[in-house]
Amino acid sequence: MITVHGLLGVPGDGLRAAVSHADRVVAGSRQLDALDVPAARRIRLGAPRLAAELVADLPPEADVVVIASGDPLFFGVVRALRLHGLRPRVIPAPSSIATAFAAVGLPWDDAVVVSAHGRPLATAANLARAHPKVAVLTSADNGLRELAAALAGQDRWYVLAERLGEPEERVRVLDGTAAATTEPSEPNVVLVLAARPDEPDAAWAGVIAGPDRAPRPQVSAAAAVAFARLLPEPGELVWATGELGADVAALAAWAGAAIDRDATIPRRAAAPVADVVVAGTADVLDGVSPRAAVLTGRVPEPLPAGYHWTGESVAGLLLTTGVRA
């Protein structure tokens, strides 16, 4: 039998008892040490995929206890176990995200949750540019300071929730300047907010979990086609300049992407780089390699390499679309 126990903070008596009887205990080194698990019964939980492989190789009659942080069904190890055909019993703890929002008394059914744990930070930063309430699962290299640096110039507040459930638990509300220079302790989650948590709640439709969409924009036919060629999505950054810039920006914002209407800004060192570009001229692509671009002005010959380029005329405007090869 495999039982996955969620844990946020200090193990309770039930978990200690389960660990003492288990044939194998799968957990992070800190938990294995804290629970005094003998070396012969330990499986260290690093990458969930590898731990799942080891668990799948154990005899079916083995009593296996897996300890995972927070809710193991939410950005947790159970997905990897299920991929190996395993169907464990799950005893969840509250997620670190739910606990961080609870610490500041803020509803989070309208939030976006994103993981920067072992992943590039850009998706989280772009989501936090585009949405007013974003919760980030962090890692030591991709956390509070990196987010604050990527969001410099944006009006954002940060809730840093460190070591939730542990005696050292600490929850702080920081402005952008403080966030950029605060050294967090691990593990932590960061809530990036457009308003301080004690300010009144923004309107929310209350139907689908996640942020409300912007109103559907009315746009030109050429902008609609440009948008369809680019299909920006949440977590991406769109540079939108030139004749179609405003309309495509409105559509991209509706789709949940982050927008930069001044494509000169990202060229500065350390500034975010676009995933998608709509621009009047090709020189905006100098030195950057977005996923896709639509150009509306006269295009140079040859066009930048590394793209499949196509041209089409929409309502009298020539759209030149490049999709990275």
Ligand X SMILES: C[S@@+](CC[C@H](N)C(=O)[O-])C[C@H]1O[C@@H](n2cnc3c(N)ncnc32)[C@H](O)[C@@H]1O
Contact 144, 190 (CB under 8 A): yes
Cβ distance to ligand X smaller for residue 122 or 294: 122
Binder of ligand X out of 18, 86, 95, 110 (CB under 6 A):
95
* Pick 101 or 239: Cβ nearer ligand X: 101
Q: Quick one: which of 31, 123, 126, 138 contacts ligand X (CB under 6 A)?
A: 138
Q: In the window 152-191, what residues touch ligand X (CB under 6 A)? A: 161, 163-165, 187-189
Number of residues in contact with ligand X under rule CB under 6 A: 23
- Mapping DSSP to helix (H, G, I), strand (E, B) and coil, where does residue 258 land? strand
31 binds ligand X (CB under 6 A): no
Site mask, ligand X, residues 215-234, x = CB under 6 A? Answer: --------------------
Query: Given its phi and psi angles, is residue 180 left (phi above 0), alpha (psi -120 to 50 degrees) or beta?
Result: alpha
Query: Residue 5: how many CB atoms within 10 A of its CB?
Result: 24
Q: Does residue 187 have a cis bond before it (omega within 30 degrees)?
A: yes
Question: Least distance in Å: CB of 46 to ligand X?
Answer: 11
CB of 260 to ligand X, least distance (A): 27
Cβ atoms within 10 Å, residue 312: 12
CA distance 323 to 260: 20
Nearer residue to ligand X within complex by CB, 71 or 260: 71
Query: By C-alpha distance, which of 140, 137, 142, 57 is closest to 97?
Result: 137
Plot region of 231 (φ>0 → left; ψ -120 to 50 → alpha; else → beta): left
Q: Which of 63, 79, 102, 139 binds ligand X (CB under 6 A)?
A: 139
Q: Which is nearer to ligand X, 188 or 320 (CB)?
A: 188
Check residue 96 for interaction with ligand X (CB under 6 A): yes
Which one of 79-87, 89-97, 224-232, 316-324 is the stretch in contact with ligand X (CB under 6 A)? 89-97
Interface region with ligand X, contact rule CB under 6 A, candidates 18-26, 68-76, 206-214, 282-290:
68-76
**Alpha carbons 73 and 28: distance in angstroms, whole number:** 17
Query: Which residue among 117, 145, 170, 291 contacts ligand X (CB under 6 A)?
Result: 117
84's CB contacts (< 8 A; 6+ apart) are 52, 53, 55, 56
Q: How far apart, in whole angstroms, are the C-alpha atoms of residue 176 and residue 154? A: 8
Among 2, 4, 5, 8, binds ligand X (CB under 6 A): 8
| Element (DSSP H or E) covering residue 266 | none
CA distance 125 to 127: 5
- Measured between alpha carbons, how far is 62 from 24 in angstroms, rounded to an integer? 8
Residue 169 C-beta: closest distance to ligand X, Å? 7
Decide if residue 70 touches ligand X (CB under 6 A). Answer: yes
5 forms part of the interface with ligand X (CB under 6 A): no
Q: Bridge partners of 51?
A: none
In this structure, are strands 89-91 and 307-314 parallel, antiparallel, or unpaired?
unpaired
Between 160 and 250, name the residue whose CB sits nearer to ligand X. 160
Whether the ω angle into residue 300 lies within 30 degrees of 0, i.e. cis, is: no
Using CB under 6 A as the binding rule, whether residue 108 contacts ligand X is answered as no
Instruction: Pick the binder of ligand X from 75, 108, 227, 239 (CB under 6 A).
Output: 75
- Minimum Å gap between C-beta 186 and ligand X is 7
CB 73 to ligand X: min, Å: 8
Distance CA 287, CA 217 (A): 32
Near ligand X by CB under 6 A: residue from 69, 126, 142, 241? 69
The residue ranges that bind ligand X (CB under 6 A) are: 8-9, 69-72, 74-76, 95-97, 117, 137-139, 161, 163-165, 187-189
